[in-house]
A and B are shown apart, each in its own frame.
Chain A
Amino acid sequence: MKKNLFEKVWEAHSAGRLSSGSTQLVVGTHLIHEVTSPQAFGMLRELGLPVRCPERTFATVDHIVPTHSQTEPFSDPLADEMIRELRGNCADFGITFFDLPSGKQGIVHIVGPELGITQPGTTIACGDSHTSTHGAFGAIAFGIGTTQVRDVLATQSIAMEKLKVRRINVNGRLAPGVYAKDVILHIIRTLGVKGGIGYAYEYGGEVFNRFTMEERMTVCNMSIEGAARCGYVNPDETTFAYLKGRPYCPTGEDWEEAVAGWQSVASDPGCSYDDVVEIDAADIGPTVTWGINPGQAVFIDESIPDPETLFNGDRETAQEAIAHMKLRPGQPIAGTPIDVAFIGSCTNGRLSDLQEAAHYLKANGHRVSPGVKAIVVPGSQLVSALAEKEGLDKIYSEAGFEWRGAGCSMCLAMNPDKLVGDQLCASTSNRNFKGRQGSPTGRTMLMSPLMVAAAAVTGKISDAREVFGVSIAGSE
């Protein structure tokens, strides 16, 4: 029987059927952070239970960490309480914690992969919806609620319904200046923000075969924005080359054995899917969101749609979005003035993201437009160290960006980095929900790192290809 990766991993991790009909699924790797774990530890203590597999649980702190200075105590006593709570819980239960002084702290979805904790053929759960990121390695990785974090801590398993699998092929070549971020924004725009309910997305095709691991992560990260609980790419040589030598990866004979296992877990050629979608890479352009969900997006040369031309629920949501974003139907998206530019988050806070924008900023000697606040936030301390070694911090600082420490920063408002009033932010993050960036009236437009850089230097939403003269040689 030919099987896809999801089916193989699901079967290998099934421990039985529960009376509700759900599967008891073993969670191979459990990642935790400060926001969604304290209550779970509280419940565990109430039940008087130990952590079943502390060696399969890894913790980091990301959401509440200030990025201008990581020194404790933080200015916010609530944030302080949360990091102390996590530290205490990890110490009490024997869990590895990539704490601030470790040099390994960062956004949980950046830390797992770069340390080699994220591996093909595994199940990964975390109390965070962007756990889908780890699917880039051919893992079945998904977000869970806090009560389920308790379940994993106590039993290393959860109750879960099997998902259907939708294969999404992106074939052809992306035009220069079109990035992984544009691919996923385009997929969400095409299939809708509800399109993935009940599905895992398997991404494939020529574009994904050529993608680096970091690009695959950007796409898988936003699977949840299209309502798919998880998204993955089959493991291949690119995956193994990325993982080789990472601290938590097997070595020697174990490595050979692991690679053989990882190869066998990939979807079998000719296996079946519940649905297949074909997308032509040539149809994808630099994409910008104009609304209050990630599906409300247009290409940089398009205009804000007229809600009257949309149907039912879409029309109402569009009306609400246009009112919140203070836009006019029919107005071109290019030229919209911005106040803030943010490069970072678990979607686009990895080294290659920071390199790409820095490359063009340096080559052109561009500077951030007066009146724009621009910040660059590496996704982890390791990313930060690598970027600084290459001098990216200097390139950004010279261009007028603030270079920050690792954390979630302006992706969401649990640290000092927040929008003020109705500021409009060109952002590489993944959610443009009302209030997401800290001000209830704040406005977010999602796009690729290079598009954010272009908006930063021009002071308005702009086509990065024009601003930076992106040539065929400059991009794949």
Chain B
Amino acid sequence: MPLTKISNIIGRGIHLPGDDIDTDRIIPARYLKCVTFDGLGEFAFHDERFDEEGQKKAKPHPMNDERFKGASILLVDSNFGCGSSREHAPQSLYRYGIRAVVGVSFAEIFFGNSIQLGMPCLTLAKEDIQQIAKAVDQNPATLIEIDIAASTVTCEGEVFKAGQPEGVRSSLVEGRWDPIGELLENSEGVDTVISALPYMSRG
């Protein structure tokens, strides 16, 4: 299954501070009432951004800030995406326009879901994220460049060494980030396992 190779992502940044931002916040449950992911983009962080009448909340939210419109690189803190397994969360961010997330750490299921839709998640030290966030905040036009192959994030000429599992890095760069092709190919391997497991082969 040929996929796009993901090697360089360049874009403007948007910073969402706070640890343990859960998937219920990223996409509130009532927006999961859908049979396709289309159209989820506008509901990303809906309840943090809008009040019950659909008006922008008085408390500023970066995603409501015109200055960060069109940003494609999301900067977050630790344990981002914790909570439910809903793929609606990364899907809504992707459809909002996010193409990569850079954070201190990620919840596992969120991380896996993001990679499987081709939205890399890289880790950086908290100070590095704060430094980039500061630059973005002072000048929202600041470009952030992510080099997946080299695992680096570059901002204002400074190169930060980012973290990502080696397997993930290579699968993004080589366009193998959706594993379905390989999983299908090894059908025989699956058969072997199934026939050795009584509960699966008993029928």
Residue interface bits A404-419, CB-to-B below 8 A is 1, else 0: 0000000011100000
- Nearest chain A CB to B192's CB is how many angstroms away? 7
Verify if A122 is at the interface (C-beta below 8 Å from B): yes
B-facing residues in A427-469 (Cβ within 8 Å): 431, 433-436, 438, 440
Residue pair A435, B190 in contact (C-beta under 8 Å): no
Verify if B183 is at the interface (C-beta below 8 Å from A): yes
Verify if B62 is at the interface (C-beta below 8 Å from A): no
Residue of B nearest to A411 (CB): B29
Verify if A79 is at the interface (C-beta below 8 Å from B): yes
Interface centre among B32, B85, B179, B196 (most CB of A within 10 A): B85
Residue pair B170, A20 in contact (C-beta under 8 Å): yes
Contacts of A307 in B (CB 8 A): none
Contact of A193 with B20 at beta-carbon distance under 8 Å, contacts A198-B108, A413-B30 already known: yes
B-facing residues in A171-227 (Cβ within 8 Å): 193-194, 197-198, 227
Residue pair B87, A155 in contact (C-beta under 8 Å): no
Rounded to whole angstroms, the CA-CA distance of A384 and B85 in the bound complex is 27
Binds B, one of A156-164, A333-341, A349-357: A156-164
Residue pair B28, A413 in contact (C-beta under 8 Å): yes
Rounded to whole angstroms, the CA-CA distance of A35 and B85 in the bound complex is 11
Number of B residues, CB within 8 Å of A: 65
Contact of A35 with B86 at beta-carbon distance under 8 Å, contacts A122-B199, A161-B165, A436-B24 already known: yes
Residue pair B78, A313 in contact (C-beta under 8 Å): yes
- Nearest chain A CB to B87's CB is how many angstroms away? 4
Verify if A261 is at the interface (C-beta below 8 Å from B): yes
Binds A, one of B34-42, B63-71, B130-138, B139-147: B34-42
- Nearest chain A CB to B82's CB is how many angstroms away? 7
Rounded to whole angstroms, the CA-CA distance of A433 and B83 in the bound complex is 9
Residue of A nearest to B108 (CB): A229
Residue pair A145, B167 in contact (C-beta under 8 Å): no
Contacts of B83 in A (CB 8 A): 129, 431, 433
A-facing residues in B152-203 (Cβ within 8 Å): 165-168, 170-171, 174, 176, 178-180, 182-184, 186-187, 189-190, 192-194, 196-200, 202-203
Residue interface bits B99-112, CB-to-A below 8 A is 1, else 0: 00000010111001
Residue pair B194, A26 in contact (C-beta under 8 Å): yes
Binds B, one of A7-15, A94-102, A366-374: A7-15
Contacts of A320 in B (CB 8 A): 18
Contacts of B28 in A (CB 8 A): 413, 435, 440
Partner of B182 from the list A24, A53, A121, A413 (CB cut-off 8 Å) is A24
Contact of A254 with B202 at beta-carbon distance under 8 Å, contacts A194-B78, A431-B24 already known: yes
- Nearest chain B CB to A346's CB is how many angstroms away? 12
Rounded to whole angstroms, the CA-CA distance of A194 and B193 in the bound complex is 33
Residue pair A129, B29 in contact (C-beta under 8 Å): no
- Nearest chain A CB to B71's CB is how many angstroms away? 23
- Nearest chain B CB to A225's CB is how many angstroms away? 8
Residue of B nearest to A296 (CB): B20
Number of A residues, CB within 8 Å of B: 81
Contacts of A263 in B (CB 8 A): none
Residue of A nearest to B169 (CB): A20
Contacts of B150 in A (CB 8 A): none
Residue pair A157, B33 in contact (C-beta under 8 Å): no
Contact of A157 with B180 at beta-carbon distance under 8 Å, contacts A38-B35, A435-B28 already known: no
Partner of A18 from the list B25, B52, B112, B179 (CB cut-off 8 Å) is B179
Rounded to whole angstroms, the CA-CA distance of A156 and B197 in the bound complex is 13
Residue of A nearest to B1 (CB): A47
B-facing residues in A112-129 (Cβ within 8 Å): 119, 121-122, 127-129
Instruction: List 6 extra interface pairs beyond A145-B113, A193-B82, A412-B24, CB under 8 A.
Output: A18-B167, A145-B90, A161-B165, A258-B198, A316-B19, A435-B28
Which residues in B have some Cβ–Cβ distance to A below 8 Å? 18-20, 22, 24-25, 28-30, 32-37, 47, 51-52, 77-79, 82-88, 90, 105, 107-109, 112-113, 116-117, 165-168, 170-171, 174, 176, 178-180, 182-184, 186-187, 189-190, 192-194, 196-200, 202-203
User: What 10 pairs across the A-B complex have the smallest Cβ distances?
Assistant: A21-B167, A145-B113, A20-B167, A143-B85, A15-B189, A440-B47, A145-B87, A38-B35, A159-B179, A146-B87
Which residues in A have some Cβ–Cβ distance to B below 8 Å? 12-16, 18-22, 24, 26, 28, 35-36, 38-39, 42, 47, 49, 52-53, 55-56, 63-64, 76, 78-79, 81-82, 85, 119, 121-122, 127-129, 131, 143-148, 150-151, 154-159, 161, 193-194, 197-198, 227, 229, 250, 254, 257-258, 261, 293, 313-314, 316-317, 320, 412-414, 431, 433-436, 438, 440
Write 9 A-B pairs (CB below 8 A) sorted by A numbering: A13-B197, A26-B200, A81-B35, A155-B183, A293-B22, A317-B20, A434-B24, A436-B24, A438-B30
